[in-house]
Structure 1
Amino acid sequence: MYTDLPIQAIIPELQQCFREQDTAVLIAEPGAGKTSVVPLAMLEQPWLEGKKIVMLEPRRLAARSAASRMAAALGEKTGQTVGYRVRMDTRVSSGTRIEVVTEGVLTRMLQQDQGLEDTAMIIFDEFHERHLHGDLGLALALESRAMLRPDLKLLVMSATLDPAPVSSLLGEGTRIVHCAGRTFPVETRYVPKPAAVELESWTARTVIRALTEEQGDILVFLPGAREIHRTERELMQASLPAQVNVHTLYGSMAAEKQDEAIRAAAEGWRKVVLSTSIAESSLTIPGVKVVVDAGLSRASSFSARTGMSRLVTLPVSKASADQRRGRAGRIAPGVCYRLWSEEAHGALPDTARPEIASADLAPLALELAAWGVQSPAELSWLDIPPDAAYAQAQALLRQLGGLDDAGRITPLGRRMNTLGVHPRLASMLLRAAELGLASYASTLAALLQEPAGLRSGSASAGGAGVDLRPRVEALLAAGSSAMPPAAGADGAAVRRMLQESRQLCSALGGPAADPVQPDEDSCGLLLSFAYPDRIAQRREDGRYLLSSGRGVQLGVIESLSRSAYLVAAEADDQGADARILLAAPLQEQTVLRAAQHLLHEEVQVAWDRTTRSVRAHKRQRIGALIIKESPAAQPPEEQVLEALLTGIRLEGLDMLPWSKTSRQLADRMHFLHKHLPEWPDLIEDHLTDELAEQLTPYLTGMRSAADLKRLSMHDVLLGGLSWTQRQQLDEEAPTHILVPSGSRIPVDYSNSDDPVLAVRLQEMFGQQETPRIGGGRVPITLHLLSPAQRPVQVTRDLANFWRETYFEVKKDLKGRYPKHYWPDDPLEATATNRAKPRTT
């Protein structure tokens, strides 16, 4: 039973560790055998006390493979002492003591029994992959230990993980155990892809080169199924050496095809396995001595801003590249061909970004709410979920009905959390069951989880069209007859989707056939339950606006292009308007029916610059979408007032009815504000807050620029002044100045920094100093006028004018106006507003 593996050397230390404490971190290099040996080594430990060991594997294939190897080591079949639980496939029995599970399954187990009373130990294998459910499972397990099960043993295992942060998270005293691996030397050859050559073509060339240069089987790492199948076609069209089989390996393949890919090649044959990162760790493919690595991986990246996810292809980390390289040295010295340069390798990140930092957190938020946690900060994490993405996830769950306004899980949310699908699909399934459409919704949900598995629809789109309805009909037809899948369909994917559909329908308790016959609107209606934020309304230019406010568009003209409403189940989230990938149409009546709980009625009151009046509209809206709009007869008066004030701000103060008297009053008040800051700032070149407050009592019943003409701005301005302020205004900013001639001359305050008194020079005889206002602080600028009312001098220093300038001015004026009075001593002369002073 694996007596020759390096891990055996540290098993006594590990066993002793768990006899003394309850947590540990095991760092075992590739080839050490940790996955197959450690769980078996714990089976007979006294602390197990008849309970079981649960080992978490990030991937289904790795879980089934690990369980199979351990069962074989015991001389048993899978499902006896060692079993597994993965999505849609379970092999356990009453005698099972080691259960290998995938991440989502562990979360389900913890939710159903927070104390995991029948479990003594949880092992987190390949934890360096940092999948979302792995981080969640560890957080929940730590909480279970802290609150209910202090004896629950936790072991975190990895080949490349930095052990210090995990050890700290597990608690003080957590021991870190190291184990050397058993790998043979691997030669690294950098063969960078030329820029002009397609990845799949270069990969195929490199594989053919490796088949020629090296012995043994070849494991090829590519980012996704699309690249795998393209490379497969390239290889099939090339001149492969004799007796070489090409296999594909990725997560959504049928289990039997996966098993065939990792099985040893027949004697005398060589195999090439084209794989995603699924083969990066936990799997040993017999016979592999060569690795060809494209250096890329594909992951889902979620945008909290748009609420959408998109698949992105990124360079792998150095740790992942080393894991892949190590696959070539499991059984003998090997070779790794890297399709990038040595310089590019140096620029790779050391480790991959944890999924929790970039994933859609709606499933996590629902799990935490079901656990009884409203904030992630209540649990212990290696990396706490980002605030923005978590807030967006909670907002979506409120829309779906899974959370209440306080962030607590609702009865509907609890039912959603038992279905094992994304909360969007769970909400759709439960609402569909209420409508008698459980079977149809289950088929739709299965399809949405694997949309590429069934191709139908618009040929102009290059294969599968955007409209989901033909795909659903095709899958329903495949499930109700023995007919083979439609042309272009992936038969294994169709069978898997049908199995998923049946399981979901069974979980809903629905009959095999729906009591309600689906119609053309059923697909869109059900999608709206899952994607309330992606109900889309057609714009005039043919593009669409989502209820979330995001712009989207159809990439090509097709049957949906004229639909007034769509539900976009999937979009690429790129550019100003994301391209819709999957959708179904809706009628307006269906929109109102589907989103009744999201429908918001409001009266919008706004200033219309065209009519220069306040217009009020009654609107029914779902998020950013205006579904219906009609005039509102009696809008709230406070909204009308605010809109009217907005109009004044937009149009400017000239829209108000200024008379000469009111304008002078405004200028006087502004003058005092400039020189006495405690005075209210009523008049600027825009509507100030103070003036808006003054206007408000006078605007009742007004809705347009024409109505404003009834205002008396003089009354408005004076109305805001106290008796004391009015007295001060008259004293410090008088409307007129009494001059020596006895005339009352108006003061021009239009320039608040420089008030002007325009007065005939002869009326100022006898005035020695310049008149001052503003409590004596501001000298008036005198425009001294000729008898013809033209300025002959502008001054703020009257005394200096009499002393220095008057006599030059007198010579000129006396010659032009000989009949007027031009005394030699202006300070002793009698001021007059006539040509000459009156004689008595």
Structure 2
Amino acid sequence: MKRPSLPIDEVLPQLVDAVTAENPVVLKAPPGAGKTTGVPLALSNAMKRDEGQIWVVQPRRLAARSVAEYLARSLNEPIGETIGYHVRLDRKESNSTRVLLMTTGIFLQRMRSDPLLEKTACVILDEFHERSLELDLSLALTHRLRTQLRDDLRLIVMSATLDPQPIADYLGVTSRSLECHGRSFPVETQHHQVDPRARLEQSITPLICGAAQQTDGHVLVFLPGVADIHRVGEALRQTELADERSVVPLHGSLTPKQQDDAVRNDPSAPRKIILSTNIAETSVTVDGVTAVVDSGLSKTPMLDTRLGLTRLQTRPISIASADQRAGRAGRTSAGTCDRMWSTAAHRTRDLYDNPEVSRSDLSSAFLTLATLGEDLEGDFPWFTPPPEHAARAAIGLLTALGAIGDANRITSVGRVMSTLPLHPRVSRFAITASELLGTELAAAGAALMSERDPIDNQDSRWSELSLAEKMQHVVSRPKSMGRNYLNAARQIQRSLERSLTPETSCGAASDTKSTSNHDAVAQALLAAYPDRVVVRRDGDEDRGVMVGRRGVLGLKRIPDLSQDSKLLLCYDVDGNATESRVRGAVSIDESWLPNGSLQKEVSVDFDAKRETVVCRAVEKYADLVLSETPITCEENPETSERLYTEAIGQLEKVYPENARGNSGEFQNVLHRIRLVIEHCLDEPPPFSNVDELCREVCRELCHGRRSFAELRRAAWTDYLIGKVGYEFWEIVQSEAPTHLTLPSGNRARVGYAENRPPWMEARIQECFGWPQTPRILRGNVAVQMHLLGPNRRPQQITEDLESFWKNTYGEIRKELRRRYPKHHWPENPTTAEATHNGLKPREK
């Protein structure tokens, strides 16, 4: 049949010229311009058949298959001849196939088996604006191949919304950038404010009914997921529209026939309300649509910390996606678009979708790179480089799964994992389960972990079954499962049977007959989730600690989980809370842990109550303590460092004690040193500062000691003197003396403390003959005199002894002379004879 004229026809001659000249091309064309159907046929006509196939890579299965069928019909040929397709679980291709449409997953799978793409002449990456991780990886691998090994390989990148220039710059100076402006009819767009607390079906059903009443064409409704389609469909069937219009679902889980029925426009059939995921946003054309109702939401691939897998999460779409959806109403005539969000909310949305490479788990992509021999830590030519932390996490996970080994090279197990259409974790589970239980049960378990639940939670008993019981149920009663699930399980089983050989065995068990199904499944889960091992908390059956010191709870609610088991594997964990809730777990045995994964070491800790270092012999898996036994601490650098770490933060507690049980004597020395530095030195001392000296002394004294009590008995002053040096210490002894000789001949102790002047206590009679206050520190500091009466109680505190004798002594003398008549109370204290006991001097 003759193809109608399309906007893409205007740029096809330029595109064909550039491609035949082996220049990479970036084409921007809006939905409906005909790029997906026009470009492959134009190239097929322009290029020689013996050059190779033209591959059109699509993000979605439905798009790849439906476009292939459309192109085959346009050539009046059956699918599989000139035009073919290859998607998961479905392939139509022959030796005569010239144009082959495929999904990104199939493209990467084919590149792994044929890294040079020897039978391929041109690769067309369609819908690149979706920026899926697989699309980004496909672009980078194709660009590297054509620039390093195959300069004859043609490359076209097609997008509906992205600015083509950055992609053209990435592809090099020889690239061509083309743009087709398309053709569409006007679309009237309306925004609606809805109650954010209302359920989706409650908010959007009135909008759908209103749109259906205003148009004679089909109504295309964009919803985030399959469950939402079911709920909205049920709500619509309760309205009057159920008799007038056919409510049709459209999503990737439907059979090919169901998808074809949804997109086919039969003028004789009733008008349709098509409830679709974003599968209808691009590539797939639904003829006859004149109204769009948009929820503004989509399921976006995000790393799910619960399962360690990439899962779909509901998020707002970008403005570019919203415009594409609206444009579906203006393909054949003027249309309308009702948006379930306000104009103000629209302005807050992202302009474009964020690349999946910046927000997703990279382990599958890095497994592909390892299979192709790429340096995982090298300079790979990503269009948008992934975050470094995500790259490190992917390499760490692949190492833990045994997929890569030394120098990040692919292992034999990793090669088998790369052939399975599964996430690396699920692939590792399937391989181990195959060795223990056979490929049929292993495939059933892998499909349960990666596909939508086949029972759809309609049977409450299903949710109470363990994973091992569900696997057995699937194998024994396959007719109770959905077709998509069974097809996925069968494909996984076929892949396992093709790939598994004795050389790729991971040594899961030597005697599978002695292993129960539950134990075998637990061992397979451990192989897939080595980072999810949990130790139950002592005295609490419901809580545990996971590798990474993450708390988990809800263990008592897990079906078939032994309450006596201390060691568990939690493969499904809610990652949103500080203490995460467990949704799926199995009991495991310590003997199942990977060889070499257990570490035995001595744990050095500090008992704050006893103020001592304590040591334990610890057995660990990663950072998870499996067992610990108290042992005697040896004198070694680790124990000394642990004691120092605790002591340095509370030095006053470990300073040496005097006879009265306090550490004032050593602090007295410290203050004397500080005063000498402040008042007696013209140049800096031969050391940094006093605080640093104390830390150095503490570190040295911690050698060979294990407690604060031992530190308090250590020779702190001797070590400190050694640090300041003998010459400096002589200055301290001279200028900041510990005692001064009184006029009576007695020696009085000089006190030193922080935030107060040096002081000295003496009876008044011992100071007679001292006209002025004694001074120290090269005469720069007066000693504060605490003058005592005969009862040793202070009568005056002064730093001006001369003033005291002149102004205050007389009054004090009268009172004390009356109370202590036997003591010496001369009228002129500055010339009187001092007495050592305070009594009157003996007559000579």
Residue 36 in 1 paired to residue 40 in 2?
no
Following superposition of structure 1 onto structure 2, how do residues 246-645 of structure 1 map, counting pairs within 5 Å? 246-265=247-266, 267-302=268-303, 311-374=312-375, 378-404=379-405, 406-433=407-434, 435=436, 437-455=438-456, 459=460, 464-465=463-464, 467-479=466-478, 484-485=479-480, 489-509=481-501, 516=513, 518-539=516-537, 540=540, 542-554=542-554, 557-560=557-560, 562=563, 564-581=566-583, 583-587=584-588, 589=589, 591-633=590-632, 637-645=636-644
Q: CA shift at 1:281, angstroms?
A: 0.4
Q: CA shift at 1:455, angstroms?
A: 5.0
CA contact (8 A) 2:633 2:639 kept: no
Distance 2:164 2:644 in 1: 64
Indicate how the Cα distance of structure 1 residues 337 and 455 shifts in structure 2: closer, same or farther if over 3 A, else same.
Answer: closer
Partner of 2:793: 790
Partner of 2:226: 225
Q: Deviations over 1:191-238 (max 9, x none)?
A: 443445421133334333333332122221100011111112222333
CA contact (8 A) 2:421 2:492 kept: no
Indicate how the Cα distance of structure 1 residues 321 and 798 shifts in structure 2: closer, same or farther if over 3 A, else same.
Answer: same
Q: CA shift at 1:822, angstroms?
A: 3.8
Q: CA shift at 1:164, angstroms?
A: 2.4
Q: Deviations over 1:503-556 (max 9, x none)?
A: 334332599xx9646422121211111111122333316133322333333398
Residue 171 in 1 paired to residue 172 in 2?
yes
Q: What is the identity percentage for the equivalent residue pairs of Structure 1 and Structure 2?
A: 36
> Which of 683, 693, 698 is the matching residue for 2:699?
693
Aligned with 2:518: secondary structure? coil
Aligned with 1:257: secondary structure? helix
CA contact (8 A) 1:648 1:655 kept: yes
Distance 2:204 2:556 in 1: 32
Distance 1:352 1:717 in 2: 66
Residue 739 in 1 paired to residue 742 in 2?
yes
Aligned with 1:521: secondary structure? helix
CA contact (8 A) 1:27 1:159 kept: yes
Tell me which amino acid in the other structure corresponds to 1:470.
E
CA contact (8 A) 2:303 2:359 kept: yes
Tell me which amino acid in the other structure corresponds to 1:357.
S
Q: CA shift at 1:51, angstroms?
A: 2.0
Aligned with 2:177: secondary structure? strand
Aligned with 1:272: secondary structure? strand
Q: Deviations over 1:444-468 (max 9, x none)?
A: 21211114224579838xx624732
Partner of 1:748: 751
CA contact (8 A) 1:306 1:550 kept: no
CA contact (8 A) 1:543 1:551 kept: yes
Distance 2:459 2:672 in 1: 75
Tell me which amino acid in the other structure corresponds to 1:735.
T
Indicate how the Cα distance of structure 1 residues 105 and 787 shifts in structure 2: closer, same or farther if over 3 A, else same.
Answer: same
Q: CA shift at 1:435, angstroms?
A: 4.8
Question: Which deviates the most, 55-64 or 804-813?
Answer: 804-813
Q: Deviations over 1:266-307 (max 9, x none)?
A: 723222221110111000123322222111112232278996
Question: Which deviates the most, 239-248 or 84-93?
Answer: 239-248
Indicate how the Cα distance of structure 1 residues 60 and 475 shifts in structure 2: closer, same or farther if over 3 A, else same.
Answer: same
Q: CA shift at 1:472, angstroms?
A: 1.3
**What TM-score comes out, normalization by structure 2 length?**
0.88
Q: CA shift at 1:166, angstroms?
A: 1.4
Structure 1 residue runs without a partner (length 5+): none
Indicate how the Cα distance of structure 1 residues 443 and 778 shifts in structure 2: closer, same or farther if over 3 A, else same.
Answer: farther
Indicate how the Cα distance of structure 1 residues 774 and 665 shifts in structure 2: closer, same or farther if over 3 A, else same.
Answer: farther
CA contact (8 A) 1:190 1:342 kept: yes
**What TM-score comes out, normalization by structure 1 length?**
0.89
CA contact (8 A) 1:698 1:716 kept: no
Aligned with 1:525: secondary structure? helix
Tell me which amino acid in the other structure corresponds to 2:492.
E
Q: CA shift at 1:805, angstroms?
A: 4.4
Q: CA shift at 1:129, angstroms?
A: 0.5
Aligned with 1:380: secondary structure? coil
Q: Deviations over 1:83-107 (max 9, x none)?
A: 2222232222222222222112222
CA contact (8 A) 1:671 1:752 kept: no
Distance 1:679 1:309 in 2: 62
Aligned with 2:447: secondary structure? helix
Q: Deviations over 1:619-645 (max 9, x none)?
A: 222234322222335657334334444
Question: Which deviates the most, 361-370 or 704-713?
Answer: 704-713
Partner of 1:234: 235
Partner of 2:681: none
Indicate how the Cα distance of structure 1 residues 577 and 15 shifts in structure 2: closer, same or farther if over 3 A, else same.
Answer: same
Indicate how the Cα distance of structure 1 residues 575 and 698 shifts in structure 2: closer, same or farther if over 3 A, else same.
Answer: closer
Indicate how the Cα distance of structure 1 residues 258 and 144 shifts in structure 2: closer, same or farther if over 3 A, else same.
Answer: same
Distance 1:421 1:147 in 2: 30
CA contact (8 A) 2:143 2:171 kept: yes
Q: Deviations over 1:55-109 (max 9, x none)?
A: 2111111111122222222222222222222223222222222222211222233
Distance 1:326 1:288 in 2: 10
Partner of 1:105: 106
Partner of 1:829: 832
Question: Which deviates the most, 274-283 or 170-179?
Answer: 170-179
Q: Deviations over 1:333-352 (max 9, x none)?
A: 22222222333333322211
CA contact (8 A) 1:217 1:287 kept: yes
CA contact (8 A) 1:419 1:426 kept: yes
Indicate how the Cα distance of structure 1 residues 732 and 47 shifts in structure 2: closer, same or farther if over 3 A, else same.
Answer: farther
Indicate how the Cα distance of structure 1 residues 768 and 69 shifts in structure 2: closer, same or farther if over 3 A, else same.
Answer: farther
Indicate how the Cα distance of structure 1 residues 419 and 490 shifts in structure 2: closer, same or farther if over 3 A, else same.
Answer: closer
